[in-house]
Amino acid sequence: MSTHVEVVSTDLRRAKIKVTPGTYLVDILGEACKKLNLKSDKYELKHKQKLVDLTGPFRTSGLSPGAKLELVQKSKSASVVSIALDVNGQRYTKKLPSDMSLWKVMRQFESSEKGLSITGRGVPVGTNSGQLYHDAPVVNIMGREYAAMEDLQKTLSQCGINSGSMVLRVSFKLGERTLYDAMREIAQYLDEVEPEQPTAEGAESQPALATEEPKTADSAPREVTQPEAIAPAATEEEAQSAPAESSTAGEPMEVDGPPATAPAPSNPLQPTGVFTAPTSSTPAAAYTREDDSVYEPTIAHAQLRQQQLLHRSQNTRLKSDAELAADAAEEAARLAKITEVEVKVRFPDQTSATWTITPDKTGTFLYQAIRNVMNHPTAPFKLILPGPKTVIQETDKKLIVQYRLKGREMLHLLWEDSVTASVRREPFLERSVASKAKEVVVPDIPQSVADERDAPGPLTSQPVRQEKGKGGSALDSDAVKKKLGKFLGLGKK
């Protein structure tokens, strides 16, 4: 029994598509775009303001006969889809972009999962010949099979998978071509499909052939892998013997100056600076005196507040997945350029110490360095970053890359609950380290510098007009406060 649905484009053109219960929604989209002379990979279908799942057939979509579907433009950036690949009962999951082809999806899983072979499987046929024949993959999506190479070049989006999660079931069909001929034809086809990358997929297919053929014979892997296993060992021995020979050969040159005067490497576990606790219980900031006029709002503050409210009232577009990925890559590039970070750790007795951290240092290194200067190195503790109280774990996570340390950082050391009160009362640093502690010197900031720093800069391109009274003189401070109170909504009604 056949019926029809009506597809309406963005320019209000209409196309009637004949459908049967087994017609897939992605085929309806393709037929409608063909009639309307549009590209199907740039559009989606909506029904009553809801996106239609294009992976299933018409009978399971919940659409009624004669339903009106809207053709809406798809986002230009590829969305992230959670793909579960089911291969002979084994399921592998991965998040992939929706513009990736089915063939590349299978190659992606092959490269990440050890021992998984999908695109280059070979099955021996015959008892004496031992010839391998290609066991071609067949991808099943919601009951629809994709077996030919033309079908496997369709992207997830073209198969109707644009968001959410989907299970791709892979089965295998033994063909009449040998594995060698099949891999050569596949590589040739991929060269024609992707001329801008002539060897990208071909290089991926050839290793699959090389790894699949030996799996049918036990002796072949040993013949291939033994020379490769022996070669690195030989090179390591040569590398170890080479420095010894060069050092013995260079003994007469030890009279030269530079090798003899080279400084010995410092112990990275030792702190670069140790500071004593403050002598007064009153913070140093409490001794600074500021004039009351510093806290009085000005016209510049009112304009800044108005700009903030105006900015918050405007709608902002959320970043796409591609933009978020670009921001993450840019942040990773910035962190990769950092060569060292100065980390200052404040201890419970208000003493502190600094260490210079390089990109290869981990949380385990920092914990070990702190225990090296502790009076009770067996007492448990934890390190906390300021702000959201991120705890630095004693693991192999990189301090700069994974904890995003940059510039100068302050960490706080807190005792664990199991530490006794007697340990808490004793000095944190051992005597040899505490004897090297220096007093923290707070620099005196001149008043002129402080005023110049605190003065707000130009906020707008328009000059601030000076309010004048009836007599032409500037308004007094009380009048300015009253006007600012009304402007900021703080005045009395």
- State the Cα–Cα distance between residues 387 and 130, nearest whole angstrom: 66
Among 193-197, 214-218, 471-475, the range of highest mean pLDDT: 193-197
End of a domain among 73, 101, 129?
73
Percentage of residues of the chain with pLDDT beyond 70: 72
Instruction: Tell me how far CA of residue 337 lies from CA of 279, 324, 331, 358, in angstroms.
Output: 39, 20, 10, 11
Nearest to 45 by CA among 33, 37, 62, 35: 33
- State the Cα–Cα distance between residues 287 and 281, nearest whole angstrom: 12
Residue 210 or 273, more confident: 273
Q: Could you tell me the pTM of the whole model?
A: 0.39
End of a domain among 393, 422, 439?
439
**What does the pLDDT look like over 427-436, one tens digit per residue?**
999 888 888 8
- Are 391 and 407 found together in one domain? yes
Residue 381 or 233, more confident: 381
pLDDT of residue 191: 74
Q: Is pLDDT above 50 for 298?
A: yes
pLDDT of residue 351: 92
User: Which amino acid type is present at position 373?
Assistant: V
The span from the first CA to the last CA of the chain, in angstroms, equals 73
Residue 45 in any domain: the answer is yes
pLDDT of residue 130: 63
Mean pLDDT of 372-379: 89
For residue 385, what are the contacts with CB-CB under 8 A and spacing of at least 6? Answer: 391, 392, 403, 409, 411
What is the tally of structural domains in the chain? Answer: 3
Which of 274-278, 288-292, 352-356 has the weakest average pLDDT? 288-292
- Are 147 and 41 found together in one domain? no
- State the Cα–Cα distance between residues 165 and 80, nearest whole angstrom: 9
- Are 61 and 178 found together in one domain? no
- Are 371 and 402 found together in one domain? yes
Residue 447 in any domain: the answer is no
End of a domain among 423, 439, 455?
439
- Are 11 and 145 found together in one domain? no
pLDDT of residue 344: 92
- Are 123 and 208 found together in one domain? yes
Residue 300 in any domain: the answer is no
CATH number of the domain enclosing 411? 3.10.20.90
Q: Are 338 and 404 in contact (CB under 8 A)?
A: no
- Are 189 and 141 found together in one domain? yes
Q: What range does the domain containing 147 cover?
A: 80-216
Positions of E strands within 225-285: 273-275
Residue count of the chain, please give it: 493
**What does the pLDDT look like over 138-154, one tens digit per residue?**
888 888 888 888 888 88
Would you place residue 317 in the very low, low, confident or very high pLDDT band (cuts 50, 70, 90)?
confident
- Are 172 and 36 found together in one domain? no
